[in-house]
Amino acid sequence: MTATAVKKPIKMITRGGHRIYFLSPEKTTITETDLFEALRRIGRYGGHANVTDLQHLALCVGLAKLDPEIKAIEGEDRLRIIARCAIHDFHEVYIGDVIIGLKPFLPAYKEIEAKWEAFMTARLGLPPMTAEDQVHVTRIDYRAAFVEMTYCKHPAASYQGSLRKAPPITEAEGKLAAYILDPHVGHLNLWTTVMDALEAGGGHL
């Protein structure tokens, strides 16, 4: 079944009262309230780890700033990559996420996801993703997963695919994780981290 095969999809409404058009993201109203309220509630790893999407994105921002390869990039290019790290999961607010290992079996979802990722990138004022930028974002995304799993003492930190080969967490990364993944840290503080990175990279909401 393709993404266009369903004739009468069930309507999904955001917390702010806006309809989500799964196959036509450009018709969907994007608001800061909907993004913030959903990201602070959506759980990572299908709920199998005590980490939210908002914590993950804030952690990605911090890790990107610490990453030697990204630090070596000068000027606006570096800030743009950090901004991409900050918003790379924003589309999950509207179409959810599929847990690791299952997505390859859902080509229709992958088609929809690609459309939403491109839409959110443009909607937030960033240029289309380049192959080089994607490499950086993916590396930071995987690093964040390893840091999160390690901090949460999740068994996946020791055996899950490429995470097994990850270098030990540095002191700076550990301090960053201890702050961002602390459940007592205010959601607004994390949201500010994400939005500041987006704006510094030339994006906007």
C-alpha to C-alpha distance for 85 and 198, rounded to whole angstroms: 9
Predicted pLDDT at 161: 47
* Alpha carbon of residue 122 to chain centroid: 16
Q: What is the pLDDT of residues 124-182, one digit of tens each?
A: 999 999 999 999 999 999 999 999 999 988 887 776 545 557 888 999 999 999 999 99
Domain boundary assignment for the chain: 25-200
- Asked if 35 and 54 touch (Cβ cutoff 8 Å), the reply is no
pLDDT grade for 100, boundaries at 50, 70 and 90: confident
CB 19 within 8 A of CB 28: yes
**What is the token pair recorded at 21?**
């058009």
Sign of CA dihedral 13, 19, 24, 28: negative
Average pLDDT of the chain?
92
Q: Rounded to whole angstroms, what are the CA distances from 93 to 32, 136, 158, 175?
A: 11, 22, 29, 28
Spatial CA neighbour of 178 closest among 143, 152, 156, 145: 152
* Ramachandran angles phi, psi of 19, nearest 5°: -75, 140
**Residues facing 43 on adjacent strands:** 52
CA–CA distance, 170 with 68 (Å, rounded to integer): 12
CATH number of the structural domain 25-200: 1.10.3210.10
More confident residue, 141 or 101: 141
pLDDT tens track for 104-113: 999 999 999 9
State whether residue 10 is helix, strand or coil.
Answer: coil
Contact (Cβ atoms closer than 8 angstroms) between residue 11 and residue 22: no
The model's pLDDT over 191-203, given as tens digits with 9 standing for 90+, comes to: 999 999 999 999 9
Containing 75, the helix (H) or strand (E) segment is helix 75-87
At residue 70, does pLDDT exceed 60? yes
